[in-house]
Amino acid sequence: MLVSATLIVCWMVVYRALGNSTWWEIELATYLIVAAVLVGSPFCLKTRGHIGVDLVSEWLPPRGRRILSRVIAVVGLAVCLYLAWVGLELTFDTWHSGETSGSAWDPPRWPFFAMMPLGLGLTALQYVADFLRTDDGAAEAKKSISGQGA
């Protein structure tokens, strides 16, 4: 999705530099970028690819770290489930009403909003996996993803 969005934007720049005009590429690139971020969110959480502040957890003993990581997983799960639910309601509302973007291209809005419950629902499942994972499991997952695993 990101590659497609990049190609679309590059094409748009060249096409407009040649004096032409288009009306669909910015909206499509936006849809693709939002979808890539939301659908890629669970993988980012699994691989610890997001930016995190671990100052507090570094000062805690191992048991405290486990408790903190589980509390964070529960809070993250709650936030993701709430936002997935709101996104699902928004998706159904826009689908039933037939809402469109209002631009010259005028695509339906529900596919854009559908990425929210999909991506955040999958991220919620990853938080459940994080909650159930032991510290050894987290180390193994990190090793296997970085290519150091057997």
pLDDT reported for residue 126: 95
Q: Are 61 and 68 in contact (CB under 8 A)?
A: no
Residue 6: CB partners within 8 Å, gap ≥ 6?
none
pLDDT reported for residue 150: 43
pLDDT reported for residue 139: 52
pLDDT reported for residue 135: 62
Neighbours of 29 (CB within 10 A): 20
Neighbours of 38 (CB within 10 A): 21
Tell me which residue of 112, 41, 116, 115 sits closest to 86, measured CA to CA: 116
pLDDT reported for residue 114: 95
pLDDT reported for residue 21: 82
Q: What is the block-wise mean pLDDT of the chain (150 residues), using blocks of 10 residues?
A: 89 89 86 92 87 77 89 94 97 96 88 95 95 64 50
